[in-house]
Homo-oligomer: A and B are copies of this chain.
Amino acid sequence: MAREIERKFLLTDDSWKAAAYQQTDFAQGYLTPLQGAAKSSVRVRIEGSVANINIKSLEIGLSRDEYEYAIPLADGEKMLTTLAVGPVIKKTRYLVKHGEHIWEIDEFFGDNAGLVVAEVEMRAENETVLLPNWVGREVTHEARYYNISLSEYPFKDWSEDEKK
């Protein structure tokens, strides 16, 4: 079990793309519905050619308990096809190093096309993060930017106010 501590931001432009040193295609879906009594999200993800299952406690904010286990690719593909609740999310994740941190920038496709979100993972909640100049508004505490929410309420259905 790990404790995930991360901050999420929107982006001001796409100047980060030139600095990306890695990009990987992701397909992911959730086995748990967002509505209901679940205390965790259960996510199946295909990351390039490997698959994993990930369980995160459902707390909005900086830090959450996280468990992740590698699973056979064929299992991951079958689960996304037959057991995912809501549409499978597709995105490309870019990695950009800035100062001491690795930034993960997710560019979404399909129903979430147009949405780009940057995340930075920290070792402690009070850790100082040097913000790149392509980083805009912080959305760490806004539930609609969580992937589990994007699978049920995708970016294409957001109002203009919600997209700001």
Contact = CB atoms under 8 A, between A and B. Distances in A.
A75 B55 CA distance: 11
Interface residues of A, number: 28
Contact of A33 (B36, B67, B75): B36
Q: How many copies does the complex hold?
A: 2
- Interface of A: prevailing SS: mixed
Interface in A18-62: 31-33, 35-40, 42, 53, 55, 57
A7 B38 CA distance: 29
Contacts of A131: none
A39 B69 contact: no
B40 A31 contact: yes
B35 A32 contact: no
11 contacts: A1-B72, A1-B74, A31-B38, A33-B37, A37-B86, A42-B42, A53-B55, A55-B79, A65-B82, A67-B75, A69-B69
